[in-house]
Amino acid sequence: MNGSTPAGGGTGGGSARSGALLPLLATDEEVIAFFAGVADLDAANPADHELEDGVRLASGDRLEQFAQAGTGDAFCFVGEGGEERPVVFVSLDGVAGPLAVGLRELVELCLVAPWWRDAPGRTAEELRAVADDYREDVPDLDRRRERAARALGLDPAALPSEAAALARLAELSRGPDAATCLVVGYDGEPLDPLFEPDRS
User: What are 122-135's pLDDT values in tens digits?
Assistant: 777 888 888 888 88
Band (7; pLDDT cuts 50, 70, 90):
very low
- The more confident residue out of 101 and 121 is 101
pLDDT at 3 exceeding the cut of 70: no
pLDDT at 150: 95
Q: Residue 44 and residue 50: Cα distance in Å, rounded? A: 13
| Phi, psi (degrees; rounded to nearest 5) at 148 | -65, -45
How do residues 172-186 score in pLDDT, each as one tens digit?
A: 988 887 888 999 998
- Assess whether pLDDT exceeds 70 at residue 26: yes
Specify the 3-state DSSP secondary structure of 6.
coil
- CA distances, 133 to each of 126, 129, 154, 156 (Å): 11, 6, 26, 22
d(CA 88, CA 96) in angstroms, rounded, equals 7
- pTM, full prediction: 0.84
Task: Give the Cα separation of 196 and 200 in Å (integer).
Answer: 9
